[in-house]
């Protein structure tokens, strides 16, 4: 059930950027130290969040990253779906590689699909804004 470290760090980065004043650029090295993530791992996550249109990068000596959308426009369900690449709860979700002999008449798959839908229905009802409603206190911890 655990989310990947990749998703976990993606969320932390978005939360951090969400607490920053508008137009404030954040230095990648600072984020790397703050969350104790290797530069390589962090660069990959930032590149991918950029491709999703969630963060923007400004190059150059005084460059850095910032949110590319308002926190209220960044849906939590969307972020988890996009960063958590494998949502196959059990083997039979992956029809191509499934080896389970009973999948053709087993009801596990539709039941887990229903449970996963309920899980995402909750996440879809929140945005990054809900995560940072305590931005002042978050900022005090982070700076």
Question: Which stretches of the chain bind its own copies, using CB under 8 A?
Answer: 1-3, 8, 11-12, 15-16, 34-36, 76, 84, 86-91, 99-102, 104-108, 111, 114-116, 118-123, 126, 130-131, 133-134, 137-138, 141-142
Cβ nearer to its own copies, comparing 63 with 87: 87
Cβ nearer to its own copies, comparing 22 with 105: 105
Please, what is the minimum distance in Å from the beta carbon of residue 48 to its own copies? 18
Q: Which of 38, 61, 37, 41 has the alpha carbon at shortest distance from 49?
A: 41
Cβ nearer to its own copies, comparing 4 with 58: 4
Cβ nearer to its own copies, comparing 62 with 104: 104
Residue 88 in 3-state DSSP? coil
Please, what is the minimum distance in Å from the beta carbon of residue 62 to its own copies? 26
Please, what is the minimum distance in Å from the beta carbon of residue 120 to its own copies? 8
* Cα–Cα distances in angstroms (integers) from residue 34 to residues 2, 56, 84, 87, 116, in the given order: 22, 20, 23, 29, 32
Residue 42 CB burial class (10 angstroms; 0-12, 13-18, ≥19): middle
Please, what is the minimum distance in Å from the beta carbon of residue 58 to its own copies? 24
Neighbours of 55 (CB within 10 A): 23
How far is CA 103 from its chain centroid? 31
């Amino acid at each position: 059930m655990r989310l990947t470290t990749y998703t976990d760090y993606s969320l932390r980065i978005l939360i951090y950027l969400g607490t920053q004043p508008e137009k404030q650029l954040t230095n990648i090295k600072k984020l790397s130290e703050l969350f104790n993530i290797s530069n390589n791992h962090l660069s990959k996550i930032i590149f991918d969040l950029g491709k999703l249109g969630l963060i923007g990068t400004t190059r150059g000596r005084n460059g850095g990253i910032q949110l590319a959308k308002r926190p209220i426009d960044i849906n939590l369900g969307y972020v988890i779906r996009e960063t958590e690449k494998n949502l196959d709860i059990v083997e039979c979700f992956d029809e191509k590689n499934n080896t389970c002999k009973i999948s053709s008449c087993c009801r596990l798959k539709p039941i887990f699909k229903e449970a996963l839908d309920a899980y995402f229905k909750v996440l879809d009802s929140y945005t990054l804004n809900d995560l940072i409603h305590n931005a002042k206190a978050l900022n005090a911890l982070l700076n």
